[in-house]
């Protein structure tokens, strides 16, 4: 719902480089590039480029000024104004909309400005994050800081003693990139009289094996209790007499027997673990977290947004220009839609109707008819190849058409060529 301000999409070669930087990690066949291979989730990486224009086009203070002018940026919601006095942080957000008149006045008075969800306002940031989220299979977030002065204080969660000596202490110049793994304590200061604009991108939160097990374990147990009588058998009538903290130092032979039985059951859980279903649970959450795909002009033209149906000459025109059997289609993006098991049914979850504001929309999904499931899988696995509607593996032409129509209307697929009236 918000317009973008610096052209359509990202075309700076340097930005391509950034994206390549950030995503090389993902290409396990690239033996030449061990940089991320060796550091990912392990060590920080600092890339110093001596090229202040390297990230030109990603985000600029001038773009920030334009956003304030054109969009409804709200203090406290989209922008935080803070200052540090004697090592204490203070917030100065007035109520209401942030306009350049007040924002630059705060800035000149020495306040820091932090934009909380630049992806909702800047299409470049939107695009960068949506590419990242696709590459990493995990939500990506961002904030942008604008400072003249930055405090010499660290995160309030730790005091200096607890942290110990820093392992890295560098001056970042314009064009530099610093990666560090989840969980690294860090602190930014601003050199005297320097203007600093930096963008912080975070991703790969709550994406560990343990997070997957949080979904998998309850599901495994539910299945085990249904299918395996051992899990339904009653506990020993007297188990409270020898188990529990108050009995933990008792030397009772029943204790080890009880614990061994529990451990046996825990190991048996493995046989009931619905791994794919648990992955689907994570996938569903992820598709809800995602930014919607940012479409290029060409993509818009070939999707529902560019369909020729319109009002003109006092009547509805080109309403009949619709998909045909020979129309070539594919997903708009690899990750824009996904089939997930959802209890007894299979549903298609998709990102195309998400908002650029985090979780502003409910999760979007539609239950799949049985006759559509194979065709949907076929379409997903065909990406990035276009396939004709007629080639979808449904029994009837009607089913093929209705699936394609459904997906087209939700913006999940695009056509190879824009739909036109002959």
Smallest gap from Cβ 169 to a copy of itself, in A, equals 26
- Contact between 263 and a copy of itself (CB under 8 A)? yes
* Binding-site member from 262, 297, 397, 416 for a copy of itself (CB under 8 A): 262
345 binds a copy of itself (CB under 8 A): no
- Cβ-based neighbours of 268, under 8 Å, separated by 6 or more: 224, 228, 230
Chain CA centroid to CA 245, Å: 42
**Element holding 16 (H helix, E strand):** helix 13-24
Q: Is 390 in the site for a copy of itself (CB under 8 A)?
A: no
Give the integer Cα–Cα distance in Å for 208 and 25: 17
Which C-beta is closer to a copy of itself: that of 3 or that of 162?
A: 3
Which stretch in 49-57, 83-91, 280-288, 385-393 sits in contact with a copy of itself by CB under 8 A? 280-288
Positions 144 through 203 that interact with a copy of itself (CB under 8 A) = 182, 195
CA distance 40 to 207: 14
Does residue 375 touch a copy of itself according to CB under 8 A?
A: no
Q: Is position 245 an interface residue for a copy of itself (rule: CB under 8 A)?
A: yes
Q: Measure CA 90 to chain center.
A: 30
> Cα angle at 37 between 36 and 40, to 5 degrees?
60
209 binds a copy of itself (CB under 8 A): yes
**Least gap, CB of 286 to a copy of itself (angstroms):** 7
Q: Which is nearer to a copy of itself, 55 or 408 (CB)?
A: 408
Instruction: Tell me which of 210, 253, 343, 384 binds a copy of itself, using CB under 8 A.
Output: 210
Among the residue ranges 14-22, 85-93, 104-112, 394-402, the one whose residues contact a copy of itself (CB under 8 A): 104-112
**Site mask, a copy of itself, residues 22-41, x = CB under 8 A?**
---xx--------------x
CA distance 219 to 280: 12
**Span 284-343, contacts to a copy of itself by CB under 8 A:** 286, 304-305, 307, 309-312, 314-317, 319, 335, 338-341
Task: Provide the minimum distance between the beta carbon of 293 and a copy of itself in the complex, in angstroms, as a whole number.
Answer: 14
* Residue 305 beta carbon to a copy of itself: minimum distance, rounded to whole angstroms: 7
Q: How big is the site for a copy of itself, counted in residues (CB under 8 A)?
A: 108
From residue 319, how far is each of 313, 316, 420 by CA, in Å? Answer: 14, 7, 11
Could you tell me which of 265, 277, 278, 276 has the C-alpha nearest to residue 211?
278
Residues 38, 169, 238, 422: which binds a copy of itself (CB under 8 A)? 238
Cβ distance 317 to 379 under 8 Å? no
Comparing CB distances to a copy of itself, the nearer of 166 and 244 is 244
1 counts as binding a copy of itself under rule CB under 8 A: yes
Is 100 near a copy of itself (CB under 8 A)? yes
In degrees, rounded to 5, the angle at the alpha carbon of residue 360 between the alpha carbons of residues 355 and 365 is 70
CB 228, min distance to a copy of itself, A: 9
CB of 313 to a copy of itself, least distance (A): 10
Shortest distance, position 353 Cβ to a copy of itself, whole Å: 5
Element (H, E) at 24: helix 13-24
DSSP character string of 249-309: T---HHHHHHHHHHHHHHHHGGGG--HHHHHHHHHHHHHHHSPPPPPPHHHHHTSGGG---
Rounded Cα–Cα distance for residues 293 and 402 (Å): 23
CB 31 within 8 A of CB 172: no
Q: Any contact of residue 20 with a copy of itself (CB under 8 A)?
A: no
Contact 331, 381 (CB under 8 A): no
């Amino acid at each position: 719902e918000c317009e973008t301000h610096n052209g359509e999409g990202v075309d700076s070669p340097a930005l391509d480089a950034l994206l390549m930087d950030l995503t090389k990690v993902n290409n396990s066949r690239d033996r030449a590039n061990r940089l991320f291979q060796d550091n990912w989730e392990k060590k920080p990486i600092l890339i110093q480029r001596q090229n202040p224009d390297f990230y030109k086009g990603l985000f600029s203070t001038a773009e920030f000024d334009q956003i304030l002018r054109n969009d409804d940026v709200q203090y406290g919601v989209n922008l935080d104004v803070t200052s540090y006095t004697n090592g204490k942080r203070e917030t100065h957000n007035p109520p209401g909309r942030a306009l350049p008149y007040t924002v630059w006045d705060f800035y000149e008075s020495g306040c820091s400005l932090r934009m909380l969800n630049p992806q909702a306002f800047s299409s470049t940031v939107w695009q960068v994050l949506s590419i990242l989220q696709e590459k990493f299979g995990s939500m990506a977030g961002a904030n942008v800081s604008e400072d003249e002065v930055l405090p010499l204080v660290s995160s309030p969660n730790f005091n200096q003693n607890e942290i110990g000596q820093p392992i890295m202490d560098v001056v970042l110049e314009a064009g530099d990139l610093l990666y560090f793994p989840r969980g690294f304590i860090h602190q930014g200061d601003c050199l005297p009289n320097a203007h600093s604009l930096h963008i912080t991108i975070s991703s790969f939160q709550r994406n560990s094996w343990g997070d997957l097990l949080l979904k998998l374990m309850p599901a495994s147990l539910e299945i085990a209790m249904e299918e395996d009588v051992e899990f339904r058998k009653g506990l020993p009538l007297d188990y409270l007499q020898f188990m529990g903290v108050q009995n933990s130092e008792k030397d009772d032979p029943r204790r080890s027997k009880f614990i061994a039985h529990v451990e046996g059951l825990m190991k048996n859980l493995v046989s009931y673990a619905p791994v794919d279903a648990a992955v689907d649970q994570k996938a569903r959450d992820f598709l809800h977290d995602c930014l919607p795909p940012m479409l290029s002009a060409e993509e818009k033209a070939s999707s529902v947004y560019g369909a020729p149906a319109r009002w003109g000459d006092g009547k509805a025109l080109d309403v009949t220009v619709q998909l045909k059997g020979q129309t070539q289609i594919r997903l708009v993006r690899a990750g824009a839609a996904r089939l997930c098991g959802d209890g007894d049914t299979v549903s298609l979850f998709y990102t195309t109707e998400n908002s650029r504001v985090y979780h502003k929309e409910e999760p979007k999904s539609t239950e799949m008819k049985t006759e559509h499931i194979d065709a949907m899988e076929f379409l997903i696995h065909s990406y990035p190849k276009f396939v004709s509607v007629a080639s979808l593996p449904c029994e009837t032409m009607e089913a093929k058409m209705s699936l394609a129509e459904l997906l087209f209307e939700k913006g999940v697929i695009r056509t190879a060529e824009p739909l036109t009236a002959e």
